[in-house]
Structure 1
Amino acid sequence: MRARYVRIKLPEKLMLKVADISEREVYGYRTMTEFVVEATRTRVREYELLERMPCDERKRSIPKRLIEKQGGA
């Protein structure tokens, strides 16, 4: 299953955050690598949720709804 997510494309917004972290340490992460690892894990979780249940009754993707409940990001 791991090979399935090897070529995940991260959104441009996320790549800009990574660039920002490389210049100065923000967002509570110690290193850029730590941020990229966490961002990739989050992205994989979103893909897995979408595979299981593509949308709810309001036609909104589940990851967006979960992210809103967690307080943004």
Structure 2
Amino acid sequence: MTATTKTFLRDATEVNFSLLGGQVTIYHTKGGITVGKQGWIKMRAWSRIGVLVNQLRLLLDAQLQESIRYSSDG
């Protein structure tokens, strides 16, 4: 084991980070994605992964809104 002062995130995928919150930006020509308005998480990923992640986020947000609306109705 090596000691370091840097934080490394292992055993995670682009999908894990993008579901944490924030805007997912896809860089098609550079082959990467960032999460958050300031791009606080930067990853190398195929463009299709970013597109799929954005679609998953839309579905998750819609489901959460539906659940909130259902629970507030009574």
Length-normalised TM-score, structure 2: 0.42
Higher helix share: 1
Q: Which has the higher contact order (CA 8 A, sep 6+)?
A: 2
Length-normalised TM-score, structure 1: 0.42
Higher strand share: 2
Which structure has the bigger radius of gyration? 2
